[in-house]
């Protein structure tokens, strides 16, 4: 007898709770989410501008820079080449079109480099929706049959779960900025979502599921190496346990492994031949990133993860508890393994942070979606009220901060903002203000709909959470974008450095760096094409240091270098650049 026939399901639901969410509403949510903050801004350090720098280097340098990501002359040997390929192709194909409107080749390239984000977001949302739908329409998660009927149909129930999972991934706080970067993070999240869908697809179509799974795993490896691919691979492996219904399809993993290995070797073999130093550094980066778990790192992970995965992680934990007798059922086992193994690998990394946290966003959203049918009406209503209060407060805070920036009132808030935006010239962009007002009114309308219509649909809470986060994000990237660009962009200081180099670098001279970070190096390359040498005989040095070290006289070359130029970003209190000419020995 099947297990689901011997244990009572915790899901209790009526057909009215699974009324179809309008497809237009889902499409609108997705479009606003990905469009807000994607364009009309500079690339910011570190991952955002580093990804763009590898794309521009591949286009300008050609050759092995296509196989081996580079930031100018720097071997960027920590990720794979996939996002470089896709981004560079988009710049090559579409930047000339955008240049007709921007009249600036750099701005056109920046716009074109962000077009892949539509691909990654589309792959993410489609995979999450269809994967959750496939799991939601299986017999195991179906709600308890009511004595006189009225329970939802299998199709309506699966669609409701899929809609909720999609809205919950959109509502996840930690990935909202990352999904708008020209970095490996949005691609990696998308390929993990594709792997999740592929495993769910293998339940009824193992052949096509195994093929798409092989593509997803290879793509994850070519995006972020072992750091990105290993958690997904382990999650897939442990889904195929003897007690899982997928166990009988384990033979199809041969197809997955063969396809994945072939695609990886098609890159690795020529990469090793063309760039032995690069591949050695890549291996060193991947191996040295793993270590035995340390208490301090574990505490950092468990401190940061709750805010990053808000609001899905409490619902995901509740889902595991409510479905604890069904842990080997596909709708719990698959997302659970995709959650556990990224966490385990994360605890074994030297410095886990948001790119690694991002691999928990998709599975926790899916688990959270399966908790909804198990919740009592009072709990669901409480979650609705919490979403309303939380995102109304965040929206009001964004508006209040902007008012303080523009008017100087409230005084204390204005002073705190002024410390972070020193040198910023305040101005009002009325089109941005109008968009922000429209977003605020849309949030008010959504709250009014919840309070007055009193909808019975179970997806109402996820709509409120997704809508609230999107409105808050929209307010940030409209009202605050000029100030954020001023604080986080290196465009101005890069232009100053470019002029200083033009004034002081003579024919045949080269410039090397001292202490310059990857993000800063990538910024100088992107904005002004500044590439640095590794020749130790260069007498010109660009140094990155801190004002404190300069005051103490402890900065390198303080006694042996002539200062030709000093610059920094206006509001930055911890970072300063010096162009030095060293005395010849």
* Residues 354 and 418 placed together within one structural domain of the fold: no
- Can you tell me the distance from the alpha carbon of 462 to that of 386, in angstroms, rounded to the nearest whole number? 12
pLDDT of residue 516 exceeding 70: yes
Percent of all residues in the chain with a pLDDT value above 90, rounded to a whole number = 84
pLDDT of residue 146 exceeding 90: no
- Count other Cβ atoms within 10 Å, centred on residue 323: 24
pLDDT at 150: 80
pLDDT at 377: 86
Write down which residue in 434, 458, 487 finishes a domain: 487
pLDDT at 345: 96
* Residues 301 and 155 placed together within one structural domain of the fold: yes
pLDDT band at 5 (very low <50, low <70, confident <90, very high): low
What does the mean pLDDT of the chain come to?
Answer: 94
Domain containing 432 equals 377-487
Sign of CA dihedral 420, 357, 315, 170: positive
Question: Is 25 domain-assigned?
Answer: yes
pLDDT of residue 561 exceeding 90: no
The C-alpha R_g of the chain, in whole angstroms, comes to 26
pLDDT at 125: 98
Write down which residue in 466, 487, 508 finishes a domain: 487
* Residues 562 and 429 placed together within one structural domain of the fold: no
Q: Tell me the pTM.
A: 0.95
Question: Is 43 domain-assigned?
Answer: no
* Residues 145 and 270 placed together within one structural domain of the fold: yes
Residues in Cβ contact with 251 at an 8 Å cutoff, skipping those fewer than 6 apart: none
- Can you tell me the distance from the alpha carbon of 121 to that of 280, in angstroms, rounded to the nearest whole number? 33
Percent of all residues in the chain with a pLDDT value above 70, rounded to a whole number = 98
* Residues 519 and 568 placed together within one structural domain of the fold: yes
3-state secondary structure of 578: strand
Question: Is 225 domain-assigned?
Answer: yes
- Can you tell me the distance from the alpha carbon of 483 to that of 421, in angstroms, rounded to the nearest whole number? 7
Bridge partners, 576 (sequence order) = 545
Question: Is 88 domain-assigned?
Answer: no
3-state secondary structure of 572: coil
Question: Is 136 domain-assigned?
Answer: yes
CA distances from 258 to 82, 178, 217, 251, 255 (A): 19, 32, 11, 12, 5
Q: What is the pLDDT of residues 127-138, one digit of tens each?
A: 999 999 999 999
Q: What is the pLDDT of residues 332-351, one digit of tens each?
A: 999 999 999 999 999 999 98
Q: Judge residue 391's burial from the number of C-beta atoms within 10 Å of its C-beta, 0-12 exposed, 13-18 middle, 19 or more buried.
A: buried
pLDDT band at 7 (very low <50, low <70, confident <90, very high): low
> Average pLDDT in the 458-483 region?
95
- Can you tell me the distance from the alpha carbon of 514 to that of 378, in angstroms, rounded to the nearest whole number? 60
* Residues 367 and 459 placed together within one structural domain of the fold: no
Of 236, 230, 233, nearest to 345 by C-alpha is 230
Of 240, 204, 253, nearest to 328 by C-alpha is 240
Question: Is 64 domain-assigned?
Answer: no
- Can you tell me the distance from the alpha carbon of 11 to that of 449, in angstroms, rounded to the nearest whole number? 26
Q: What is the pLDDT of residues 350-381, one digit of tens each?
A: 989 999 999 999 999 999 999 999 998 888 89
Write down which residue in 374, 404, 420 finishes a domain: 374
pLDDT of residue 1 exceeding 50: no
Q: What is the pLDDT of residues 213-252, one digit of tens each?
A: 999 999 999 999 999 999 999 999 999 999 999 999 999 9
Q: Mind spelling out the 3-state secondary structure of 439-499?
A: HHHHHHHHHHHHHHHCCCCCCHHHHHHHHHHHHHHHHHHHHCHHHHHHHHCCHHHHHHHHH
> Average pLDDT in the 170-175 region?
96
pLDDT of residue 3 exceeding 90: no
Of 57, 114, 53, nearest to 522 by C-alpha is 53
Question: Is 107 domain-assigned?
Answer: no
* Residues 496 and 469 placed together within one structural domain of the fold: no
* Residues 142 and 245 placed together within one structural domain of the fold: yes
CA distances from 463 to 123, 187, 270, 443 (A): 21, 25, 48, 11
pLDDT at 107: 96
pLDDT of residue 268 exceeding 50: yes
pLDDT band at 4 (very low <50, low <70, confident <90, very high): low
3-state secondary structure of 141: coil
Question: Is 215 domain-assigned?
Answer: yes
* Residues 454 and 544 placed together within one structural domain of the fold: no
* Residues 221 and 258 placed together within one structural domain of the fold: yes
Q: What is the pLDDT of residues 377-402, one digit of tens each?
A: 888 898 999 999 999 999 999 999 99
pLDDT band at 318 (very low <50, low <70, confident <90, very high): very high
pLDDT of residue 2 exceeding 60: no
Would you say 203 and 404 are in contact if contact means Cβ atoms under 8 Å apart?
no
pLDDT at 559: 81
Tally of domains in the chain:
3
- Can you tell me the distance from the alpha carbon of 360 to that of 345, in angstroms, rounded to the nearest whole number? 11
* Residues 386 and 365 placed together within one structural domain of the fold: no
* Residues 460 and 548 placed together within one structural domain of the fold: no
């Amino acid at each position: 007898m099947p297990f689901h026939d011997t244990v009572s399901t915790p899901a209790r639901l009526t057909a009215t709770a699974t009324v179809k969410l309008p497809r237009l509403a889902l499409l609108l949510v997705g479009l606003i989410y990905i469009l807000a903050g994607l364009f009309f801004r500079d690339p910011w350090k570190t991952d955002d501008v580093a990804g763009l720098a590898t794309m521009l280097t591949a286009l300008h340098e050609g050759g092995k820079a296509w196989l081996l990501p580079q930031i100018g002359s720097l071997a960027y040997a920590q990720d794979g080449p996939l996002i470089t390929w896709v981004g560079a192709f988009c710049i090559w194909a579409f930047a000339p079109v955008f240049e007709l409107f921007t009249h600036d080749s750099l701005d056109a390239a920046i716009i074109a480099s962000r077009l892949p984000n539509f691909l990654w977001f589309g792959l993410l949302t489609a995979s999450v929706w269809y994967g959750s739908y496939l799991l939601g329409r299986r017999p195991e998660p179906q709600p308890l049959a009511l004595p006189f009927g009225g329970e939802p149909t299998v199709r309506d129930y699966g669609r409701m779960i899929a809609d909720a999972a999609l809205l919950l991934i959109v509502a996840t706080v930690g990935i909202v900025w990352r999904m708008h970067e020209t970095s490996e993070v949005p691609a990696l999240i998308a390929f993990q979502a594709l792997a999740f869908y592929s495993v769910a697809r293998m339940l009824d179509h193992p052949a096509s599921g195994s093929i798409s799974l092989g593509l997803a795993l290879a793509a994850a490896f070519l995006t972020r190496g072992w750091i990105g691919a290993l958690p997904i691979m382990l999650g897939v492996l442990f889904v195929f346990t003897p007690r899982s219904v997928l166990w009988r399809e384990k033979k199809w993993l041969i197809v997955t492994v063969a396809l994945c290995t072939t695609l990886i070797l098609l890159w690795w073999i020529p990469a090793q031949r063309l760039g032995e130093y690069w591949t050695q550094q890549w291996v060193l980066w991947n191996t040295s990133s793993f270590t035995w778990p340390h208490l301090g790192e574990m505490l950092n992970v468990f401190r940061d993860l709750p805010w990053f995965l808000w609001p899905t992680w409490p619902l995901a934990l509740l889902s595991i508890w409510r479905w604890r007798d069904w842990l080997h059922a596909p709708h719990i086992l698959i997302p659970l393994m995709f959650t556990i193994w990224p966490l385990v690998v994360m605890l074994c990394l030297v410095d886990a942070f948001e790119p690694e946290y991002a691999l928990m966003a998709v599975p926790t959203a899916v688990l959270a979606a399966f908790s909804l049918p198990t919740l009592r009406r009072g709990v669901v209503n409480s979650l609705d009220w919490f979403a309303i209060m939380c995102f109304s407060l965040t929206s009001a805070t964004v508006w209040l901060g902007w008012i303080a920036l523009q008017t100087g009132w409230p005084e204390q808030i204005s002073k705190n903002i002024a410390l972070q935006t020193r040198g910023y010239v305040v101005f009002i962009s009325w089109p941005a203000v109008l968009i922000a007002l429209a977003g605020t009114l849309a949030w008010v309308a959504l709250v009014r709909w919840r309070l007055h219509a009193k909808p019975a649909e179970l997806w109402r809470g996820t709509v409120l959470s997704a809508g609230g986060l999107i409105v808050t994000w929209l307010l940030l990237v409209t009202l605050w974008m000029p100030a954020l660009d001023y604080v986080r962009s290196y465009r101005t200081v890069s232009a100053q450095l470019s002029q200083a180099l033009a004034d002081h670098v003579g024919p045949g001279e080269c410039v090397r760096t001292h202490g310059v970070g990857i993000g800063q190096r990538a910024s100088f390359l992107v904005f002004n094409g500044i590439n640095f040498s590794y020749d130790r005989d260069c007498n010109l040095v660009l140094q990155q240091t801190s004002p404190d070290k300069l005051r103490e006289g402890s900065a390198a070359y303080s006694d042996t270098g002539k200062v030709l130029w000093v610059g920094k970003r206006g509001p930055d209190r911890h970072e300063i650049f010096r162009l030095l000419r060293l005395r010849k020995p």
